[in-house]
Structure 1
């Protein structure tokens, strides 16, 4: 995982190098990856003039002759339309397009050359400069042990009911699929085939980036197809001949983990934070944390929405990063105690009048610790990342939905005790079933 985390950071370096004196247009999946790698500050520090949304409603000013487009999708369809709209209504003389999806080698050169010509045409002068590049910007390093791929959040396995019926509707009666286990890649809808090809290409780029030859396994019907496509992917075959390191790669259908979306497990503070706090705009895996309690600004007696919300991603704050990793891996009670410990340590270093309480940690106690930093501007700046995570914990634990969560959790446990008592025999059956049939290469 350490290699993947480092890889997810280094893939930005050539993109940042191209952004000097440019206005950068970025789609939401790439922006979310960047968010967990350091944020827009990376581009501004590299000399970019501005970072904007990838949208037909955006454009560059007359004093911005250079543009960089960073997209997570193949260079066709709606993606090309947006690039054309932005370029046509701007005064660019130099355009660079970076895509996270790598086409085939021969095909890629042809497609890139054709797009470079179109970019010059859209800029209004065939003598202007255009470049089309690719970089595997796919993984958002939420933590060293958890990396997400926002560009594929929409990819979902087929379901045995309506999806299977839809597949069979266009097939002769004698060739209809009895179940999803019989479905193969050519039988999938064209849109799903394209999504799987993009995923396979992205995974191959990642494996190439860390120098790994993988052995593929799968759990679930769609995962079987994805693993098979990766195993037979021509570029992957060539890579596996020369890669120095080995790894096992297991694909798991999201439908096999559906309880994570509808259950109330109760042991994770991060799960509650992600469930009850509002999502950060354009993000699938981060939330907005209300920071107004740390300011004295008022408008008509209210401070609602005066300052920007906080978030969970704090890659540049070592203390906050350490706390976030603990919150991800610890049970809720331990995570809350860890939040208090970090607050006490930070307050002690800043010589704030904090008292280390004993016993159960409450949201009110954490909030009182956080508010100590409000009176010291330098301390507030020094520990801003830590204070955002602490306030996220406070706001989640005090949220009205939190009490309902605990009630639902109690009911779920009661149902399990009444209708699914666990015995040694049951555990052995589950283990045997998993080992024999759930995983296949």
Structure 2
């Protein structure tokens, strides 16, 4: 039984490694990302894989390889890819590792059939296994053959002991028919499209598998419309119901919609070094939570960098098999920039061939002092090989600090502070939109990208909530300005390279403005957390205090204040029973509280920042409670990614 999410991931990767001896392994991008955070490619090769390839219809097994293992999400498209690979190969033994729960896969395989009896009786996983094994056997086409289908829940990564992320669900879209707010409050799964419904069921199935491995029996709480749907599936799905009967450790699962508060994920005022890096460095190819580090400073050859030509394999930040690097990564989330720099310098000084001053004799560690040690290792491949992890992390931090994008980030930080004070001072009407419109028009003179200014707009509307009424005249002016700006910068706004007409830009701008208005109304139904603009404790000025932060502060408060915004999934029927009993006994039964359970999991659908994780964890630690609080989310998110998720760009 796994005692932590990290142990859960490692235990199931061991199950994978037990099946790959002598096999060619085909792995999809999401599973590859999870593998990277477990230790990487050599974990497969060192455990017996004869080849490792991407799950692609353009790949094929060598003729002398007769066993293949497919590590996949088992979508319809991926099954077709597996069929193509098998048809072009000489395979006799195939193992399909489904990272998605087989009861959900069964629904997708039989989406046009009446399978209610099979699902409700709990036979769906067994039927899916039988169906998929039949498909594999047919695709091999030769007798005898050996096929196996097994569910192994590979879907989590654990950056630290208290944080977990779910890469396969990074693109979950919290929308209802392209709206952030559903048409009616009586929503169910059929408020979503088929694809959205499948994705939500897959997430619920994965969480169910994790809870099963950890012997968890959850009490579900939620905030937000989308979270209520996920909570409903976890509460009512036959496999989840069956699992809870057999599990004994009570935990509280709190599910929160990111859309209730988009300020935190669209802010550039990050203290966390990791967030600063995520805002500046490119993503590692094929991954959504790892960053790419330019390795040319360590290379003895001359490298000419071109934006469209990656000449060197990029470095990365997370190194799962190096304890020293794991500590530094934790520091990048939880410590100050100064502490991260001293940590890096201290570790680099032990490998410094030029013997730079020791960290104790330095008053300040600068990017240049770190870079000097890195440059001294250039071309020395014995040193580089031995210390490759910390060198990559140090290079990443230096590249972030020296990036020309840092000036733009600093400007956006100051703009956010001005906006916050302006909105706090004038709750009825404001000229903030007029100022932002002027910024968009003059963005090129200031060296600012439209993407970042659109993220700032999402930040402003979420910050304002329903407390600030924007002038309709200013909103119309903003619409006109956005139309022109989107047309002028369409190549950077639409990364798929599509061309747009002025009329299309006008429609896109209008839709964006409608979505921004919805952003401002997301907290309207929350009686307690409807405002994130709070007076500073000093009594001077205001500060942003996020919904997640307010929630955690209330959870760890020893006085246990009422949290009406947090809905308990079973509360409806319990309230009816409770009211009936009260008539007879005149005693008020005690309401259940999330902190009644020793373990509490806060899961944010739609992304979280390292800075938020740091602040939430700090609140738990300083409160003195002894509960084990885990923070989960679908991804680490940057301001631009959060903006694109909301505005559908």
Q: TM class, shorter-chain normalised?
A: 0.7 to 0.9
Give the 3 Å change call, closer, same or farther, for CA 268–2 of structure 1 in structure 2.
farther
Q: Does 1:267 align with 2:271?
A: yes
Aligned-pair distance for 1:218?
0.9
Q: Does 1:242 align with 2:369?
A: no
Deviations, residues 258-315 of structure 1 (Å, cap 9, x unaligned)? 234421023111112112111111100111111111121237999x955421111201
SS in 2 for 1:437: coil
**Aligned match of 2:24:** 23
Give the 3 Å change call, closer, same or farther, for CA 300–107 of structure 1 in structure 2.
closer
Tell me, yes or no, if the aligned pair for 2:295 and 2:392 is still in contact at 8 Å.
yes
Aligned-pair distance for 1:8?
0.7
Give the 3 Å change call, closer, same or farther, for CA 28–217 of structure 1 in structure 2.
same
Tell me, yes or no, if the aligned pair for 1:279 and 1:288 is still in contact at 8 Å.
yes
**Aligned match of 2:189:** 185
Aligned-pair distance for 1:186?
3.5
Q: Does 1:224 align with 2:228?
A: yes
Aligned-pair distance for 1:71?
0.5
**Aligned match of 1:81:** 80
Tell me, yes or no, if the aligned pair for 1:266 and 1:406 is still in contact at 8 Å.
no
**Aligned match of 1:370:** 374
**Aligned match of 2:343:** 338
Aligned-pair distance for 1:162?
3.5
Deviations, residues 320-365 of structure 1 (Å, cap 9, x unaligned)? 1111111111133332332223323x33xx6751213523322111
Equivalent residue in structure 1 for 2:131, among 98, 114, 120: 114
Aligned-pair distance for 1:420?
1.8
**Aligned match of 2:171:** 154
**Aligned match of 1:100:** 99
Q: Distance in 2 between matches of 1:429 and 1:71?
A: 37
Aligned-pair distance for 1:244?
2.8
Deviations, residues 96-149 of structure 1 (Å, cap 9, x unaligned)? 101011223522222222322222222221321111111011101222222111
SS in 1 for 2:567: coil
TM value normalised by structure 2 = 0.61
Give the 3 Å change call, closer, same or farther, for CA 299–130 of structure 1 in structure 2.
same
Q: Does 1:281 align with 2:285?
A: yes
Tell me, yes or no, if the aligned pair for 2:299 and 2:379 is still in contact at 8 Å.
no
Q: Does 1:35 align with 2:36?
A: yes
Give the 3 Å change call, closer, same or farther, for CA 19–301 of structure 1 in structure 2.
closer
List aligned pairs for 1:345-360, cutoff 5 A: 346-347=350-351, 352-356=354-358, 358-360=362-364
**Aligned match of 2:216:** 212
TM value normalised by structure 1 = 0.88
Q: Does 1:7 align with 2:134?
A: no
Tell me, yes or no, if the aligned pair for 1:120 and 1:127 is still in contact at 8 Å.
no
Q: For structure 2, which runs of at least 5 residues remain unmatched after alignment?
A: 104-121, 426-533, 555-561, 569-649
Equivalent residue in structure 2 for 1:437, among 560, 564, 568: 564
Equivalent residue in structure 2 for 1:143, among 157, 160, 164: 160
Give the 3 Å change call, closer, same or farther, for CA 220–333 of structure 1 in structure 2.
farther
Deviations, residues 150-173 of structure 1 (Å, cap 9, x unaligned)? 111111212697366xx7xxxxxx
Give the 3 Å change call, closer, same or farther, for CA 300–370 of structure 1 in structure 2.
closer
SS in 2 for 1:91: coil
SS in 2 for 1:252: strand
Equivalent residue in structure 2 for 1:328, among 333, 344, 364: 333
Q: Distance in 2 between matches of 1:186 and 1:35?
A: 36
Tell me, yes or no, if the aligned pair for 1:112 and 1:132 is still in contact at 8 Å.
yes
Aligned-pair distance for 1:209?
0.6
Moved over 6 A (4+): 299-302, 424-430
**Aligned match of 2:481:** none
Q: Distance in 2 between matches of 1:137 and 1:300?
A: 38
Aligned-pair distance for 1:389?
0.4
Tell me, yes or no, if the aligned pair for 1:156 and 1:254 is still in contact at 8 Å.
no
RMSD, aligned α-carbons = 2.8
Compare 57-66 and 425-434 and name the one that shifted more.
Answer: 425-434
> Which structure would you say has the larger RCO, counting Cα contacts within 8 Å and 6 or more residues apart?
2
Aligned-pair distance for 1:2?
5.9
**Aligned match of 2:71:** 70
